[in-house]
Chain A
Amino acid sequence: MSDPKKGDSFPEGVTFGYVPFTADKASINTCGLPTTYDATKEFADKKIVLVSTPGAFTGTCSEKHLPGYIENVSKFKEKGVDKIVVIAYNDAFVMSAWGKAQGVQTDDILFLSDTETNFSKKFNWLKGERTARYAMIIENGKIAYAEKEPAREVTVSSADAVLAAL
């Protein structure tokens, strides 16, 4: 279990829990059914920014970490990013609700569940039972950037830091 590095291949067989946003279930009190998102397959031919947060609806994640990404979606797209994928240990229903609560109505930013922290576990990038705060850039199935926060502040995994690395 080593830290992911630039040049590594994105792991095989990675899936996340996913409740897709659909217009007819836009209200936070409705939701679709959970599906499996085949990340390894989806990331193989795209430029992806993956952001991991310790918890949906928690303070730092909602107020300091996530907004940077939501506000700068167009900047990410200008740099060729196909999707921003936000993950946390929370289940797919909670992630879907969090996305709605943050006002995200497009599939430029996906809110996925790292079920049982199976993905984050591979690198031991965990925070207790949750996923740690980190960000990765994955280009056509290869890791181009992978940084985990050393402390509580949002630094290397912030939208600005990742934009600078793109």
Chain B
Amino acid sequence: MAFRALHRVPNAVPRALSAPSRAAFFHSTPRAFVQAGDAVPDIELHEDSPGNKVSLAKQYASGIANGVVVGVPAAFSGACSQKHVPSYINHPKVRAHEAGQVFVVSVNDAFVMKAWADELDPTKVSGIRFLADPTGAFTKALDLGFDAIPVFGHTRAKRYALVIEDGKVKSVHVEPDNTGTDVSMAEKVLN
């Protein structure tokens, strides 16, 4: 396999570091902590129901190429519902639709994400879309998971925000303690 990779020059190298040609030929994205300049992972997420599949890589490639991907450890949990996601829903730039397309992603299933979205932004005034990463594959591809097994029973996403520009990650804001509400809040990310 590695032999073949050496003989073909990939058209678009997705990553600047660690085994770029392998990434182009295997289905699973190699796991490496997301950095500025990285592509957005092309991994299936669910919106509203498990049948509705959305890839953020494709969303940013075909639609609005800018925005923010907001990761949260758990839908319906305190900090996520009261501080982190509302900071985006209420941010003036988001309200004025000047922040591009904002997605909230969590390792929950699509039913739960939809119910949560209906609670936090029932009239969809913010334009924020809530996506489910039910198996944690998207989170894993960014290497932004943490072991939450005692509380949740599996790996969850750290609290993070990725600013996307021209379909690529422009800046990475990950809470250093995984679940705090500081560097990934809208005030710090969007200003």
Contact = CB atoms under 8 A, between A and B. Distances in A.
B154 A31 contact: no
Nearest to B156: A91
Interface string B139-177: 000000000010111100000000000000000000000
Contacts of B116: 97
A37 interface: no
B114 interface: yes
A22 B39 CA distance: 44
Interface string B42-74: 000000000000000000000000000000001
Given A29-B120, A91-B74, A34 B151 contact: yes
Interface stretch (A40-48, A55-63, A69-77, A143-151): A55-63
Nearest to A59: B111
A97 B76 contact: yes
Contacts of A115: 152-153
For the complex, would chain B's binding face be called helix, strand, loop or mixed by DSSP majority?
Answer: helix
Interface string B102-117: 0000001101101110
A28 interface: yes
A116 B151 contact: no
B81 A55 contact: no
A55 B115 CA distance: 12
A125 interface: no
A57 B111 CA distance: 6
A131 B111 CA distance: 15
Contacts of A98: 115
Nearest to B109: A55
Interface in B74-92: 74-78, 81-82
B118 to A, nearest CB: 9
A30 B78 contact: yes
Contacts of A157: none
A17 B109 CA distance: 18
B166 to A, nearest CB: 34
A91 B152 contact: yes
Contacts of A56: 111-112, 115
A90 B108 CA distance: 8
Given A115-B152, A116-B153, A31 B114 contact: no
A17 B151 contact: yes
A10 interface: no
A164 interface: no
A96 interface: yes
Nearest to A56: B112
A92 B74 CA distance: 10
Contacts of B115: 56-57, 97-98, 101
12 contacts: A29-B119, A58-B111, A91-B151, A91-B152, A94-B74, A94-B75, A96-B76, A97-B116, A101-B115, A115-B153, A116-B149, A116-B154
Interface of B: 74-78, 81-82, 108-109, 111-112, 114-116, 119-120, 149, 151-154
Interface of A: 17, 28-34, 55-58, 90-94, 96-98, 101, 113, 115-116
